[in-house]
Amino acid sequence: MHDRLGARPLVLLALATTMTVGACATASSTGEVAINGAAPMSESAQATLADREQTADQQVQHVLNRLAFGPRPQDVEAVRQLGVDAWMARQLAPERIDNGATEAMLRNYRTLDYTADRLLAEFPPPNVALAAAARRSNGPVSAEDSIALRKQARQAAQALGELASSRVARAVVSERQLEEVMVEFWTNHFNVFVGKNLVRYYLHDFDRTVRQHAMGDFRALLGAVAKSPAMLTYLDNWQSVADSGRPTLQQLPPRASARRAQALRRAAAQRGVTPQQMERVQQLQQRRRGLNENYARELMELHTLGVDGGYTQQDVVEVARALTGWTLERGAQGGGFVFRPQTHDAGAKTILGVKFPAGRGLEEGEAVLDLLARHPKTAEFIATKLARRFVSDSPPPALVARAASTFRRTNGDIRETVRTIVTSAEFFSADAYRAKVKSPFELVVSTLRAMQAPADATARSAQLVTRLGQPLYGHQAPNGYPDTGEAWMNTGAILNRINFGITVAADRVPGVRLARWPAYDSLRSLDRAAQVDGVIRTLLGGAASNETREVLMSGTNPLLTRRGGMAADGQPSPAGLAQIVGLALGAPEFQRR
């Protein structure tokens, strides 16, 4: 049995990629064996799909697992009737899809539309809240203030929990599935870490920024992220200023001076000092800071050109110089993006062989972003990452080249680049089918969708993603979570995934009740073999390996047996149909997409 990840025998079962089943099956044109019982496709849909290596049924499963977070029970038949290409075209134009039910669901979140300023005002950081309480009491903090501080801390955590919960909930119920896939892709591409300074207060705005541009223009997305308080804080560009002795744009226009004075007064009030004292603190911080290369380096290595993008360390320095003065209105105390001419290095620069004359300000940084966004290496890097997301861990070079060509020709049109990939022969190749391992986020969301679970407005579903190894906004390094299978499929992770499936089938996951699963009534009174066939048909796309079928028939997974039992949480293990469903959700066919 071939295993693309070359796993050890212990985990071979969980990584199987060759699917065959036994009884009640018919062979497909690819040699895979499928369970009978699916409704026939329309003639027009059959004609559209005739030239691809995947069977018609595989194509339906494939697009629902790549352009969406897996099928809901009704989705397979809907795509079969509409046609795979028509469904993909619809997903590529999310603005035309009615998403009213999802928007109504989102109104259950109290803080989801809060701005960073409102979050900071209502749930200030503990040190700020404590200082304010001490000033009010003019001495030790009172008992009443202590209670209020604890309440504020809980509310701040709840606001962050609402954002994480909303990401899972949108992915589960949104009709605009491809848009949600792209939001997840770009959120990971432009990774920020919740634990860095005030980043947690900026994440609501950051999510809106990514959503606005997820299917649009890459240059617009790049610029919006560069100016986002989350990224400015996470990679420290807010404190990057011209080194001592470098020329700057000293003169501030009257309006800018007035805004700076207003921001200074707000920062001073927060700290309980005079504006003059606050200005001296900021001047001291500026002298200590100087040039910071963190954002410039990751901008080229991770956001645009890639690690092999042909830039040098001197290019990193020059980009950092061009982006000095890109900061926050109130510095360490927050606020929106602002350009400070007096801290901008106004000297001449050369970046990737392009000369930038002296004396330029904000427009210089914009020109640098233009240069990087339009660079051929950026087209290649973004095309490679998108092809890896949609096709395979090692995407075909010819496909990457065509996608990069589209990216260049359209000046970074994300939608058209994705279209080139998902309408390609490589996308519908036999090798691409079930070639990707689901990340924890994808696994949780696809499970909830498969079981027809409603949106969970609590933080519990997001916590499930965390327990499986992918806390949202919790990746500390700027490279984001990996999008290749080996990162997620070690022995311990596989065991956790199998136990997760069993927990779901035992009704111990928010919103999931097996009795409400659409296939439940038709399967519950059948014999074991018929139930297994029905679960394979409903949850595994009609095809499963002999090993998976044996596990479902016996009710015993060898890996769990080695580890001493079925239930990871100490609860009784399910039996009957629930046991079959739980083991199917932990099967390699469901773990892959």
pLDDT in tens, 415-474: 999 999 999 999 999 999 999 999 999 999 999 999 999 999 999 999 999 999 999 999
User: Model-level pTM?
Assistant: 0.86
Measured CA to CA, the distance from residue 146 to residue 532 in angstroms comes to: 57
Predicted pLDDT at 367: 98
Predicted pLDDT at 41: 44
> ∠ at Cα 309 (474, 386), nearest 5°?
55
Measured CA to CA, the distance from residue 577 to residue 6 in angstroms comes to: 32
Four-CA torsion 307, 309, 315, 316, nearest 10 degrees: -20
For residue 33, the cross-strand partners are 27
pLDDT band at 348 (very low <50, low <70, confident <90, very high): very high
Q: Would you say residue 231 has pLDDT above 90?
A: yes
Please, which contacts does 146-153 make with residues 24 or more away whose CB atoms are closer than 8 Å? Answer: 152/122, 152/123, 152/124, 153/123, 153/126
* Cβ-proximal residues to 52 (8 Å cutoff; 6+ apart), any chain: 59, 425, 428, 429
Predicted pLDDT at 482: 96
545 token code pair: 């390996």
pLDDT band at 212 (very low <50, low <70, confident <90, very high): very high
Measured CA to CA, the distance from residue 405 to residue 413 in angstroms comes to: 11
Measured CA to CA, the distance from residue 587 to residue 497 in angstroms comes to: 9
Mark out the alpha helices in 340-426 (DSSP H runs): 362-373, 376-390, 397-409, 414-422
Mean pLDDT confidence for 284-309: 88
Q: How far apart are the first and last CA of the chain?
A: 19
pLDDT band at 281 (very low <50, low <70, confident <90, very high): low
Could you report the per-residue pLDDT of 479-518, keeping only the tens digit for each?
999 999 999 988 889 999 999 999 999 999 999 999 999 9
The answer to whether residues 193 and 474 touch, using CB atoms and an 8 Å cutoff, is yes
Could you report the per-residue pLDDT of 126-176, keeping only the tens digit for each?
888 777 777 776 777 777 777 878 888 888 899 999 999 999 999 999 999
Q: Would you say residue 275 has pLDDT above 60?
A: yes
For residue 132, the cross-strand partners are none
User: What value does the mean pLDDT of the chain take?
Assistant: 88
Measured CA to CA, the distance from residue 195 to residue 197 in angstroms comes to: 6
Measured CA to CA, the distance from residue 432 to residue 395 in angstroms comes to: 9
